[in-house]
Amino acid sequence: MTKRNKIIYWITTGFLAFGMTAGGVQQLLQTGGYVDIVSRLGYPIYMLSILGAWKILGVVAILVPKFPLVKEWAYAGFFFAMSGAAASHMTMGQPFSEALPSLILLTMTVLSWYFRPDSRKLMAVKPKNS
């Protein structure tokens, strides 16, 4: 892994971890305007607790060493949560600015996943030669 790629990985992963942790805690505590946002989108309030808990667990999974399969699931969860949030805002006819935070975190998810070091990747098992 080049030094440039390592820097990109840690910057995007740091931003992703900060954003997901901040959002997850606010959702878990139902603060920061999330109750209003979720209500306007037509989702039940209890979804905040579920999403908040999973975001925090996903950050832990991405930051701790090892466990590459769990990291893949965490990245997939972040991708689905953020693309779903952006789609929800756009489907409800809200201004683009409402979808922008989720689109930024979606971008950070993809970049962090793409630039992750080999030690954090799920490697394919090579078949033994017969």
Q: Where are the domains of the chain?
A: 3-116
Q: How far apart, in whole angstroms, are the C-alpha atoms of residue 95 and residue 34?
A: 17
State the pLDDT at residue 78.
98
State the pLDDT at residue 126.
61
Is pLDDT of 8 > 80?
yes
Q: Say what the pTM is.
A: 0.89
Across the chain, the runs of DSSP E, i.e. the strands, are: none
Mean pLDDT of 14-40: 96
Which residue, 31, 64, 63, is CA-closest to 48? 31
